[in-house]
Amino acid sequence: MEIYLDHNASTPLDPRVIETMRGMLGEAFGNPSSPNWAGRPARAALDIARLQVASMLGCAADEIVFTSGGSEANNLAIKGVYFAQSHAGGHIVTSAIEHPAVIEPVRFLERLGAEITILPVDRTGRVDPDDLAKALRPSTTLVSIMHANNETGTIQPIAECAQIAREHNVPFHTDAAQTIGKIPTNVNGLGVDLLTIAAHKFYGPKGVGALYVRRGVELAPLVHGAGHESGRRAGTESALLTSGLGEACNLASNLSDNSRIQNLRDRLWHGLRDRLGDRIVLNGHRQHCLPNTLNVSFPGRVGADILAGLEGIAASTGSACHSGLVELSPTLRAMGIDPWVGMGTIRFSLGRRTTEEEIIVVTERVIGFIDAG
Strand partners, 92: 116, 142
Mean pLDDT in the chain? 95
- What mean pLDDT do residues 178-189 have? 98
pLDDT for the residue numbered 322: 46
The number of beta carbons lying within 10 Å of the beta carbon of residue 349 is 27
What pTM did the predictor assign?
A: 0.96
Residue 12 has pLDDT above 70, yes or no: yes
Each residue of 313-325: pLDDT tens digit? Answer: 999 997 555 445 5
pLDDT for the residue numbered 88: 60
Residue 119 has pLDDT above 90, yes or no: yes
Q: What is the 3-state secondary structure of the chain?
A: CCEECECCCCCCCCHHHHHHHHCCCCCCCCCCCCCCCCHHHHHHHHHHHHHHHHHHHCCCHHHEEEECCHHHHHHHHHHHHHHHHHHHCCEEEEECCCCHHHHHHHHHHHHCCCEEEEECCCCCCCCCHHHHHHHCCCCEEEEECCCECCCCCEECCHHHHHHHHHHCCCCEEEECCCCCCCCCCCHHHHCCCEEEEEHHHCCCCCCCEEEEECCCCCCCCCCCCCCHHHHCCCCCCCHHHHHHHHHHHHHHCCCCCHHHHHHHHHHHHHHHHHHHHHHCEEECCCCCECCCEEEEECCCCCHHHHHHHCCCEECEECEEEECCEEEECHHHHHCCCCHHHHCCEEEEECCCCCCHHHHHHHHHHHHHHHHCC
Cβ atoms of 80 and 50 within 8 Å: the answer is: no
* CB within 8 Å of 307: residues ≥ 6 apart: 313, 315, 316, 317, 346
Residue 97 has pLDDT above 50, yes or no: yes
pLDDT for the residue numbered 323: 45
Ordered domains of the chain (ranges, CATH): 15-252 (3.40.640.10), 256-371 (3.90.1150.10)
What's the number of CA atoms in the CB half-sphere (13 Å) around residue 126? 17
Q: Are strands 91-95 and 115-119 parallel, antiparallel or unpaired?
A: parallel
Residue 321 annotated to the active site: yes
pLDDT for the residue numbered 245: 98
pLDDT for the residue numbered 324: 54
* pLDDT top residue among 38 and 344: 344
The number of beta carbons lying within 10 Å of the beta carbon of residue 221 is 20
- What mean pLDDT do residues 66-76 have? 98
Each residue of 226-252: pLDDT tens digit? Answer: 989 998 999 999 999 999 999 999 999
User: For the chain, how many residues are written?
Assistant: 373
Each residue of 144-157: pLDDT tens digit? Answer: 999 999 999 999 99
Strand partners, 174: 195
Task: For residues 51 and 60, give the distance between their C-alpha atoms in angstroms, rounded to a whole number.
Answer: 8
* CB within 8 Å of 283: residues ≥ 6 apart: 125, 152, 295, 296, 297, 318, 332, 335, 337, 342, 345
- What mean pLDDT do residues 168-172 have? 97
Each residue of 258-310: pLDDT tens digit? Answer: 999 999 999 999 999 999 999 999 999 999 999 999 999 999 999 999 999 99
Residue 326 has pLDDT above 90, yes or no: no
pLDDT for the residue numbered 325: 58
320 torsion bin: left (phi>0), alpha (psi -120 to 50), beta (else)? beta
Active-site option among 161, 249, 289, 321: 321
- What mean pLDDT do residues 130-141 have? 97
Cβ atoms of 237 and 66 within 8 Å: the answer is: yes
% of the chain at pLDDT higher than 70: 97
